[in-house]
Amino acid sequence: MVEQVLASRHQVKSFESAGGARIFQMPLEAFPSFWVHSYLVIVDDYRVLIDTGSNFPQSNEGLEKHLESISAEIGESLGLADLTHIFVTHGHIDHFGGLAYVKPLTDAKVGIHELDRRNLTNYEERLVVVAQRLTEFLLESGASPERVEELKEMYMFSKALFNSVEVDFTYEAEGMQIGPFDFLHVPGHCAGMVCIKLHDILFSADHVLAGISPHQAPERLTLNTGLGHYLESLQACRAWASDVGLILGGHRRPIENLGKRIDEIVAEHQQRLEKVIEMLSEPQTIAQVAQELFGETEGYNDLLAIEEAGAHVEYLYQRGYLGISNLDEYRQTDLPVPILYQCLDAEIDFDKLINLRE
């Protein structure tokens, strides 16, 4: 019984837009027990794949299997060779990694936003650059050198999953519109993140998700990420709230009310910021903040927790609410030392700090 429920959770679901587009949501196992949605969209002469999975063997097999079952259902052959376009929503491996598998099998034109283009075209270089920044950030966060090595290795594990590929077009250069698809640049979770609107349906990628606030990392790791950009992008996305009736994310279940979901996510970040301010009445490192916020974490979640805490500390520090209490130690060396942050002003008006709710 349980197996049946699990099996059906990972089956293709179909939707139809008000303008008659047919949309198929294809769950792919990007990493063991970690699922991502890829979408097949049939509208006018367009046969579009939105995101590709991770290039993990189960992910590629799932994609082929789903396309076969969709072809059988609609009575039209729709394999990878029949695609006209591939839209990548953002430069995270669970969304674009599958391009390494898909690209040799199709002539479909591949698009990505300008700010994530190099994630695909200069993949190996970017991993090295980000790993260096990550090491510095983690050491300053107060993680032990051994833990930093472990976390860095974890970050680098996806190295083998992908080789750089060429892309055919970028969204800004196309005027943020391709046929009936409208694109909105929503930097934050990722620098080149886009949401895609088709008639009354919004593909929200990892910008807006059901049941979880999308992961944030500090901007010091990659420009145009970070909590400040993310909250601004949530606000920008509200412009479409009255146009869309169904929001299909990169993970998790569909959402019906965009404005309401944005309010919930903003509130979650506000609460987290309030907690961080409270904790930092005493000087603490980011690793300590992470542990208080998220408890004991393991494996990749450990890295995610420190990044998430780092994004919130950075947001407050950027705005002058936090100071560094061990500045003398920091001054004495060029090497990264754990930074102790402390709140400078406990009387923060959060409605002014995050003035984004409607």
Of 70-78, 84-92, 259-267, 319-327, which segment contacts Zn ion by CB under 5 A?
A: 84-92
Written as six digits, the tokens of 175 are 């005027």
Q: How far is the CB of 54 from Zn ion (least distance, A)?
A: 9
Which residues lie closer than 8 Å to 245 by C-beta, 6 or more apart?
18, 200, 201, 256
Q: How far is the CB of 93 from Zn ion (least distance, A)?
A: 9
Strand-pair partners of 181: 178, 198
Q: Does 308 bind Zn ion (CB under 5 A)?
A: no
Q: How far is the CB of 25 from Zn ion (least distance, A)?
A: 14
Question: Residue with structure tokens 């695609």?
Answer: 83
Element (H, E) at 5: helix 2-9
Of 19-27, 49-57, 206-214, 265-273, which segment contacts Zn ion by CB under 5 A?
A: 206-214
Choice between 53 and 338, CB closer to Zn ion: 53
- By residue count, the chain amounts to 358
Q: Does 116 bind Zn ion (CB under 5 A)?
A: no
Q: Does 94 bind Zn ion (CB under 5 A)?
A: yes
Q: Which of 66, 92, 117, 269 binds Zn ion (CB under 5 A)?
A: 92
Choice between 94 and 302, CB closer to Zn ion: 94
Residue 256: φ, ψ to 5°? -105, -30
Q: Which of 250, 288, 290, 307 binds Zn ion (CB under 5 A)?
A: 250
Edge-first strand order for the sheet with 181-185 is 177-178, 181-185, 194-198, 201-205, 246-249
Q: Does 206 bind Zn ion (CB under 5 A)?
A: yes
Burial 13-48 (b: 16+ CB within 10 A, else e): eeeebeeebebbbbbbbbbeeebbbbbbbbbeebbb
Q: Does 140 bind Zn ion (CB under 5 A)?
A: no
Choice between 43 and 205, CB closer to Zn ion: 205
Binding site for Zn ion (CB under 5 A): 92, 94, 206, 250
